[in-house]
Amino acid sequence: MGLFSIFKNNKKEEKIKEAQDFVSSTEQNGGLRPVQTSILLKKDEKAFFSEEKVPLKEVRMVSKRSGGGMGVRLFKGVYVGGGQSESRSLPELRDIDSGALILTNKRLVFDGMIENKSLDLDKMLSIEIYTDGLEISFEGKSKSSFFMVKNPYLWKLVLSLVKGVPDPEKIKKGSLNIKFE
C-alpha cells in the first residue's frame, strides 16, 4: 500500500467520523435543526443543511478529432489529395458552475452564479458517493448532477434523513442505526 492510499484512507475515515459525530449530535438534539439560508423558502419548507462554494459538474459529450492527409492546391479554395480523419464523441465531466448547495425538507437547491437548480426530493432516484463529491440522479432529468462537497458521507446522511423520516426535527435517541462504508 502506497503513501497516497494511506492518505486517501485517512481522509475517508475522517469524513466518516465527522458523519458519525453528526448522527450522535442529531440524536442528542432530538432531530435536525433548521439553518439560515439565502434562498426563498416555500410554504412549510425549512432548510436543514447547506454548503457554500460547491462546484457543480455534469457529464458532457466532447468531440475528439484525429486524422491527417496531404493535398495539392490547384487554385484558391480547391485542393486535390487524400487523407482520412475520425471524429468521436466521448463523455467528459465538465465544470458547470459554483455556488451554494442547500437541502430543505422538500428540495435540493443549487444557487450558482450562472446556473440554478431546484430539485424535488420526491423525484430523487439515487445518490452515489465518491471521495470528493456526490452524484445525484433525479426522475425526469437525463443527466446526473455531480456536487463536489467537502464531506459526501455527511451529505448522503442528511439527504437520507430528510427524505426518510416524517419529521426531521423530531428524531428519537437511539433510532438512527446508520452504517458507513
Q: How many CA atoms lie within 13 A of 33 on its CB side?
A: 10
Query: Which of 65, 51, 64, 123 is CA-nearest to residue 90?
Result: 64
Mean pLDDT of the chain: 87
**pLDDT (average), residues 72-89:** 73
SS3 93: strand
Domains of the chain (ranges plus CATH)?
10-65+86-164 (2.30.29.30)
pLDDT value of position 99 = 98
- Give the contacts of 125 (CB within 8 A, at least 6 positions apart): 137, 138, 139
Strands (E), the chain: 47-75, 78-104, 107-112, 116-120, 124-130, 133-138, 145-147
Q: Which residues of 54-84 are buried (b: 16+ CB within 10 A; e: fewer)?
A: bbbbeeeeeeeeeeeeeeeeeeeeeeeeeee
Specify the pLDDT at position 85: 67
Which three three-digit cell numbers place residue 160? 437520507
Is residue 144 very low, low, confident or very high in pLDDT (cuts 50, 70, 90)? very high
User: What separation in angstroms does the CA of 137 have from each of 36, 60, 122, 142?
Assistant: 26, 15, 12, 8
Task: Please state whether beta strands 145-147 and 47-75 pair in parallel, antiparallel, or not at all (unpaired).
Answer: antiparallel
Provide the CB-side half-sphere exposure for 110 (13 A, CA): 22
pLDDT at 67 over 80: no
Hey, what amino acid is at 148? M
| pLDDT per residue as tens digits for the range 13-34 | 999 999 989 988 998 999 999 9
Q: pLDDT at residue 173 above 80?
A: no
C-alpha cell at 18: 465527522
Strands ordered across the beta sheet of 116-120: 116-120, 107-112, 78-104, 47-75, 145-147, 133-138, 124-130
